[in-house]
Amino acid sequence: MHSTDRALDADAPVSATSRVLHLRRGGTSVVIDLDASPTPAIVHWGEELVDSPDESLGSLALAARPQRVSGGLDETARLTVIPTPAGGWLGTPGLEGHRSGAGFSARFDVAGIQANDHRASLALVDGESRLAAQLELRVGPSGLFHQRLTVRNTGETPYTVQSLQLFFPVPWDATELLDTTGRHLRERTPQRREFTFGTHLRESRRGRPGADATLLLAAGRPGFGFETGRVHGIHVAWSGNHRVLAERVVTGEAFLAGGELLGAGEIVLAPGTSLASPWVIGSWGDGLTELSHRFHDEWRRRPQHPRRPRPVTLNTWEAVYFDHSLEKLSQLADAAAQAGIERFVLDDGWFAGRRDDTKGLGDWYVDETVWPEGLHPLIRHVRGLGMEFGLWVEPEMINPDSDLARSHPDWILRGRMQLPPSARQQQVLDLAHPEAYAYIAERLHAILDEHEIAYLKWDHNRDLVDAGSGPEGVARVHDHTLAVYRLIDELKAAHPGLEIESCASGGARVDLGILDRTDRIWTSDSLDPLERLANQRHTALVVPPELMGMHLTSPVVHSSGRAVGLGLSAAVALFGHFGVEWDLTSAAPETRERVAEWVALAKRVRPLVATGRTVDVDGTDPGIDVRGIVAEDAAAAFFTITQVETTVAYPPGRIRMPGLDPARRYRVQVLSPGQPYEDAGQSALEWATQGVVLTGRELATIGLRPPVQLPQRSTVVELTALS
């Protein structure tokens, strides 16, 4: 295909080899058989076919066509871009809908195609069902494969959309699945299973992705890991209800699919109106690391991606909770500034009546009983210390015990007269209600106009349950999600430079829909560094590390009660947007000095975190975690060696450090912020004390002995290429 858009004639005669579209960029090819029936079919998604001529691609399309077999249909059905039962497809359909119970059958024909070398738009029509559709397909600069489907009602009666799914075929030998599950304080816990015949379905019905949602659904060759094994995965870039599935059918097709999960009657298209699905994004790689780098690299290319160094942040929640006073918070700000903190965020408890978590949500006015002069004295103090000021908000939520709820109970999302079950003593505000939206927008704009606020920590502390527009109203998650997007976009447009964090009971709203308009996510409310290892590794399958909030914590972890050392807590937090969640005024002076050393190291490595490539090392002893970040030009890297538990081998066997330039030589040295280097061995680890120079190939294939460490210890290793 040529690089400029061109139209393809959908009615052109079939040649000896099929007409095909070949979309390619960033190491990825997508080959589409235009002559498949009734709509085109994707015959390849994966490795870029750099030397395949059109004739060969046509033959590839022919080679993918199934034969008719006994017991089957007379016209063989296959997976197409919008498979439906009317075309003979008996698996999960691409579109389901009806007109008041009738007109359920849909079968699309191609009306036109616009395409260039990495993007295509297919116009599809079904005159009988009076529907039109546009399928957008594009391969991004880093090789991500994006799909979005828009369906329009061309009839004269309403059409109810039940589901829209986008389909990503995977190789037949991809027989192992990986997804994640979890709960509050333990999001994105990995789980694997065999990819057998039938459907593996994951749905989020929480009105947000949820702590138990899978960020990625991946299928690969058995035993695929981070470093090796061909693997394909998809992500739904949507912050409301969604569905992903893996399906293997007896007609020889295996695929991943995803889209929005719609409530009963949630989308009814009036004549002439349309519904666009979320973007569903696919990535692939030889190992999960390569798959994740496609997400990271493409996300970093966005014009709105944060470019300045990520400010080291202190959040006040675990330091003061609801115990607010100007004196206490000013002392905390002093301690933060002394440690090198750059952003001070005032968490929950600053607004009217908010002395605990049972009341006040929705009353977005500064509490005059706690702040008689408003927030201005604290903000002046924080900014006078050279730090930015940030503020916690939860605009989508409302406490029944609030002036707002008493004045406007009709603004609460509900499907019945009775309110939905409460969570954290709160309900959800219906932002799709025009008056509720206008109130919240006015309050947030007013707060930002009055104060010098650089950052909003936007929280979302409960699932949406029975979320409707009122008794006997309509399902509202779709419209509410779009309203949240619109509100965030409006705030950022009106307040240039404002940064927003997506927090949702920790990491319950982590998706590329919300991250296309915010500047980071709060990865988890759990700051337990051992719990964070798996969480951060699997969040980074999709999210670039610089957009993941990672904070060191207090000596006793709030969420788990585990006693942890500063070295472990800080080392685990180095691999993202670094911060502190701790009452530093309670720490001894020497401890604060050590915190300052770690903050200084975080500042030194953050350019690497923001631009480098993550490395997760396979094959280590189960008691040892090894991960790192390597500069894009491979000139520098840092790794952590974390002792999760004791090992049977004692001293432990060698660990590898892959991802470097095989031909370059690297000086390898241990960093020990705030204290001299020491380990639990009874003799010195010679390479750590004397220093060594090894090639990238030697480090990747042979490695070196890790230090002998007690459990819950971590060692930071810096690698610098020699000129």
For 99-175, where are the E strands, in sequence order? 109-115, 119-126, 131-139, 145-153, 159-164, 166-169
Separate counts of helices (H) and strands (E) for the chain: 13, 37
Q: Are 363 and 353 in contact (CB under 8 A)?
A: yes
Distance CA 643, CA 646 (A): 7
Nearest to 98 by CA among 12, 160, 5: 160
Chain centroid, CA 234 distance in Å: 11
* Confidence at 6, pLDDT banded by 50, 70, 90: low
Question: Given the structure tokens 């051992």, which residue do they identify?
Answer: 530
pTM score above 0.85? yes
**Could you tell me what percent of the chain has a pLDDT over 70?**
98
**Buried b or exposed e, range 709-721, using 16+ CB within 10 angstroms:** beebbbbbbbbbb
Average pLDDT over residues 589-610: 98
Nearest to 706 by CA among 612, 627, 636: 627
DSSP annotation of 400:
S
| Crossing angle of the two packed helices 589-611 and 566-573, in degrees rounded to 10 | 20
| The dihedral formed by the CA atoms of 404, 409, 413 and 416, expressed in degrees to the nearest 10 | 160
Nearest to 325 by CA among 285, 377, 389, 383: 377
Average pLDDT over residues 692-710: 98
- The residue length of the chain stands at 723
- Active-site residue, selected from the candidate residues 179, 525, 625, 661: 525
Q: In the prediction, which pLDDT does 10 show?
A: 55
For residue 712, the surrounding DSSP H or E stretch is none
Lowest-confidence pick of 266-275, 339-348, 673-682: 673-682
DSSP annotation of 531:
H
Phi–psi pair at 616, nearest 5 degrees:
-120, 125
pLDDT in tens, 127-145: 999 999 999 999 999 999 9
pLDDT in tens, 141-162: 999 999 999 999 999 999 999 9
Nearest to 218 by CA among 165, 252, 262, 254: 254
DSSP characters over 222-236: TT--SSSSEEEEEEE
51 is catalytic: no
For residue 330, the surrounding DSSP H or E stretch is helix 326-338
Nearest to 362 by CA among 396, 390, 391: 396
Average pLDDT over residues 177-196: 98
Single-letter amino acid, residue 175: T
Q: In the prediction, which pLDDT does 13 show?
A: 43
Q: In the prediction, which pLDDT does 3 show?
A: 40
The total of other beta-carbon atoms located within 10 Å of residue 446's CB is 12
Q: Tell whether the model's pLDDT for residue 520 goes beyond 80.
A: yes
The total of other beta-carbon atoms located within 10 Å of residue 456's CB is 26
Q: In the prediction, which pLDDT does 244 show?
A: 98
Average pLDDT over residues 689-699: 96
Distance CA 187, CA 546 (A): 19
Look up residue 615 and give its two tokens: 């490395």
For 356-407, where are the E strands, in sequence order? 388-393, 397-398
525 is catalytic: yes
* Confidence at 8, pLDDT banded by 50, 70, 90: low
Q: Tell whether the model's pLDDT for residue 16 goes beyond 80.
A: no
- Radius of gyration (C-alpha) of the chain in whole angstroms: 27
- Active-site residue, selected from the candidate residues 459, 511, 519, 616: 459
pLDDT in tens, 616-646: 999 999 999 999 999 999 999 999 999 999 9
pLDDT in tens, 460-492: 999 999 999 999 899 999 999 999 999 999 999
Q: In the prediction, which pLDDT does 545 show?
A: 98
Distance CA 231, CA 198 (A): 19
**Buried b or exposed e, range 216-244, using 16+ CB within 10 angstroms:** bbbbbeeebbbbbbbbbbbbbbbbbbbbb
Residue 583 makes CB contacts below 8 A (sequence gap 6+) with 318, 319, 320, 332, 554
Chain centroid, CA 446 distance in Å: 30
Q: In the prediction, which pLDDT does 723 show?
A: 83
Q: Are 457 and 392 in contact (CB under 8 A)?
A: yes
Q: In the prediction, which pLDDT does 153 show?
A: 98
Q: In the prediction, which pLDDT does 674 show?
A: 82
* Confidence at 14, pLDDT banded by 50, 70, 90: very low
Q: In the prediction, which pLDDT does 1 show?
A: 37
Q: Tell whether the model's pLDDT for residue 611 goes beyond 60.
A: yes
Q: Are 534 and 188 in contact (CB under 8 A)?
A: yes
